[in-house]
Amino acid sequence: MDTITRSIEVDVPLQVAYDQWTQFEDFPQFMGAVESIQQLSDTRTHWETKIAGVSRDFDAEILVQEPDQGVSWRSVDGPTHAGRVTFSPLTDNRTEVTLAMDWEPEGAVEKAGDALGLVEGQVKKDLESFKRFIEERGTATGAWRGEVQSGSTGPL
């Protein structure tokens, strides 16, 4: 399994960055590989993605969600995928967003794309797009301040 970890600093308060990240259905606005996300419940989402020309559909389960700290998840079907995003205040109006993702490339195309660093490059672009998206807005499109503690993964 491959792990990709990237961080970016955004010029918005921590709560604004976190609140926007809880709006999963808005991810296609700043994530190039995400075609759509449907929020099925507080802890379950359905994803449609296209990375390096390979389309995938899968459901993901939110394992841990702590307001203003982070969110962790894992796929429950489809491609093996798990990750976490954490938020750290740098100043009152500046936040570090760190995304760590574990995934298992499937098939020759995904393995070749992985070897070429395409997925890592996509993660970097997506974080940069998130930065532009949230800084231009200055406010989140919504918020879900609920807490999830499944106990499956431990602390963020």
Q: Could you list the pLDDT tens digit for every one of the 156 residues in the chain?
A: 678 999 999 999 999 999 999 999 999 999 998 999 999 999 999 999 887 777 889 999 999 999 999 999 999 987 788 999 999 999 999 999 999 988 766 666 555 655 555 678 888 999 999 999 999 999 999 999 999 987 554 444
Question: Does residue 84 fall inside a structural domain?
Answer: yes
How far apart are alpha carbons 153 and 137 in whole angstroms? 33
Residues of the domain holding 142 = 2-149
Question: Does residue 45 fall inside a structural domain?
Answer: yes
Q: Domains in the chain: how many in total?
A: 1
Question: Does residue 155 fall inside a structural domain?
Answer: no
Contacts of 1 (CB under 8 A, 6+ apart): 80, 102, 103, 104
Question: Does residue 6 fall inside a structural domain?
Answer: yes
- Cα end-to-end distance, the chain, whole Å: 20
Question: Does residue 156 fall inside a structural domain?
Answer: no
Residue with tokens 């993605």: 49
pTM to 2 decimal places: 0.88
CATH number of domain containing 83:
3.30.530.20
How far apart are alpha carbons 61 and 40 in whole angstroms? 10
HSE-CB for 145 with a 13 A CA cutoff: 3
